[in-house]
């Protein structure tokens, strides 16, 4: 069971003046090897800017900085921001030429990413706050024109869900929407012992690489999201039942795909179906 200490002496961030806060999903990495392996999941090819979500006390940040990219770290916790701005050992920054590193105190979910990047591309990395995992993935998909790669750590089940193939029990809304635009690879699992305080669950690291045809899908994101959501809201039912509210023409509802349950339908087949529905 995770322990969020009221006393500042007992967890990894506390020696940096940062108390772990449960509502912010703060579990600080204490294993440098794992931090290095997370930083290594991105290719660092084809872009020169990185956005780290939730740097905390910078355990992962310093490995990312060494990759010779411009790094922006977005952190909601003001204690962590104060530490990163004033006490984060600057040798991590100085080792690389022509590099900028900035910390911005902000909520990733609310921040307008164009304010930071304009139209430029950037990759996302993080040991993500697990309480907002789904929203992080949705916001990434919505900003996909600027995000060629995304890598980092989620609760293991969430990472597995994003990477799941059709036919698997964990295949769902996140799998279809993420994989419509990104190739998704589950990279490795870590146990609670690499964090301080330890979470109750295992964690999984994944890597998303944007597909070459990401901007060339035959349907819009909004219709795909609508169809997939409706289908998985009643995952035990066939599409004929779950898509009833769309009032689709009978001849469409006679097609074989409508006798399937959503977990039996591949990403490509969902895209094809959403395309047909959008054309109506």
Helix (H, G, I), strand (E, B) or coil at 126: strand
| 18-26, 217-225, 232-240, 256-264 -> range binding ligand SAM (CB under 6 A) | 18-26
**Contacts for 262 with CB less than 8 Å, ≥ 6 apart:** 172, 228, 231, 232, 235, 239, 242
Smallest distance, Å, CB 101 to ligand SAM? 14
Establish whether 46 is an annotated binding residue: no
* Residues paired with 209 in a beta bridge: 149, 183
Establish whether 68 is an annotated binding residue: no
Choose which of 47, 83, 108, 154 interacts with ligand SAM (CB under 6 A): 108
Cα radius of gyration rounded to whole Å, the chain:
20
Nearer to ligand SAM, 54 or 148 (CB): 54
Chain centre to alpha carbon of residue 86:
28
- Strand 70-75 versus strand 101-105 pairing type: parallel
The CB density around residue 235, as the number of other CB atoms within 10 Å, is 14
**Positions 179 through 198 that interact with ligand SAM (CB under 6 A):** none
| 41-49, 93-101, 125-133, 259-267 -> range binding ligand SAM (CB under 6 A) | 125-133
Smallest distance, Å, CB 90 to ligand SAM? 18
User: What distance, in Å, lies between the first and last C-alpha atoms of the chain?
Assistant: 52
Smallest distance, Å, CB 61 to ligand SAM? 7
**Positions 55 through 84 that interact with ligand SAM (CB under 6 A):** 55-56, 59-60, 74-77, 80
The CB density around residue 277, as the number of other CB atoms within 10 Å, is 17
Smallest distance, Å, CB 237 to ligand SAM? 34
| 114-122, 124-132, 164-172, 258-266 -> range binding ligand SAM (CB under 6 A) | 124-132
**Which H/E stretch holds residue 151?**
strand 149-155
Establish whether 151 is an annotated binding residue: no
Choose which of 53, 159, 174, 228 interacts with ligand SAM (CB under 6 A): 53
Smallest distance, Å, CB 246 to ligand SAM? 33
Establish whether 272 is an annotated binding residue: no
Rounded to the nearest 5 degrees, what angle is found at the Cα of 79, between the Cα atoms of 24 and 202? 35
**String of b and e for 159-195 (b: at least 16 CB within 10 Å)?**
bbbbbbebeeebbbbbbbbbbbbbebeebeebebebb
**Positions 129 through 168 that interact with ligand SAM (CB under 6 A):** 129, 132
Where do contacts with ligand SAM occur on this chain (CB under 6 A)? 24-29, 53-56, 59-60, 74-77, 80, 107-109, 127, 129, 132
């Amino acid at each position: 069971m995770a322990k969020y200490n009221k006393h500042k002496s007992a967890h990894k961030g506390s020696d940096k003046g940062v108390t772990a806060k449960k509502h912010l999903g703060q579990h600080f990495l204490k294993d440098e090897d794992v931090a290095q392996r997370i930083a290594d999941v991105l290719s660092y090819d084809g872009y020169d800017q990185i956005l780290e979500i939730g740097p905390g006390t910078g355990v992962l940040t310093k490995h990312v900085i060494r990759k010779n990219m411009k790094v922006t770290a977005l952190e909601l916790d003001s204690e962590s921001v104060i530490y990163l701005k004033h006490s984060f050992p600057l040798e991590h920054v100085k080792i690389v030429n022509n590099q900028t590193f900035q910390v911005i105190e902000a909520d990733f979910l609310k921040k307008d990413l164009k304010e930071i990047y304009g139209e430029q591309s950037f990759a996302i990395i993080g040991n993500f706050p697990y309480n907002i995992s789904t929203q992080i993935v949705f916001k990434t998909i919505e900003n996909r024109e600027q995000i060629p790669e995304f890598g980092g750590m989620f609760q293991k089940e969430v990472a597995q869900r994003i990477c799941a193939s059709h036919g698997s029990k964990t295949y769902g809304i996140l799998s279809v929407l993420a994989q419509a635009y990104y190739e998704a690879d589950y990279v490795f699992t870590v146990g609670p012992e690499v964090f301080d305080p330890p979470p109750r669950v295992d964690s999984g690291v994944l890597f998303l690489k944007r597909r070459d045809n990401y901007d060339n899908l035959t349907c819009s994101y909004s219709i795909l999201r609508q169809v997939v959501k409706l289908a998985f809201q009643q995952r035990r039912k066939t599409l004929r039942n779950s898509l009833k509210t769309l009032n689709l023409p009978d001849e469409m509802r006679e097609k074989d795909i409508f006798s399937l349950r959503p977990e039996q339908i591949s990403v490509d087949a969902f895209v094809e179906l959403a395309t047909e529905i959008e054309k109506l």
